[in-house]
Amino acid sequence: MAAADVETLLRQALAPIEPPAELEQRLEATLDTLVERAAGELEAWELSSMRDPRNWPRQAARPAAAVVVGSAAAVGLVALRTQRKRHRRRAASSSVLDLAERTLRDVASEAGRIAERRPGRR
């Protein structure tokens, strides 16, 4: 086998592929559900149940888990939605600095949308 054949085979094997649109939509729906459920869990948590220090480990676990899961899902959702718009941003940008500014604006915009959609703020 010639070196050119190996190189061609490697290029074909390592070529980037786009995930199917269906997978992206399912991932977005799952992350969105996690964010909403975590926000609902935090709103349902009653601080008054924390009066007895013996209850602290048991009572604090659920809100702590909701914060971790909700935050991770929100970051994933922002990244997914920002990633989706990358081609438009790249085409509209005049320089690398302009592209970075547009990307940061999109990240902030998506984060704001997610924060505004929390249950109880509609």
HSE-CB at 50 with a 13 A cutoff on CA atoms is 10
pLDDT exceeds 80 at position 45: no
Q: Is 73 helix (H, G, I), strand (E, B) or coil?
A: helix
**How much is the pTM?**
0.69
pLDDT in tens, 65-109: 899 999 999 999 999 999 888 889 989 999 999 999 999 999 999
Cα distance between residue 23 and residue 32, in whole Å: 14
Mean pLDDT, rounded, of the chain: 85
Q: Which two tokens stand for residue 65?
A: 């888990």
Rounded average pLDDT over 25-39: 93
**Which 3 state secondary structure label does DSSP give 41?**
helix
pLDDT at 118 over 80: no
Cα 105 from chain centroid (whole Å): 16
Q: What is the pLDDT of residue 53?
A: 76
Picking from 82, 80, 75, 63, the residue whose alpha carbon sits closest to that of residue 35 is 75
Give CA–CA dist 48/51, Å, rounded: 6
Q: 122 pLDDT band (50/70/90 cuts)?
A: very low
What's the chain's length in residues? 122
Q: Where are the domains of the chain?
A: 23-46+56-116
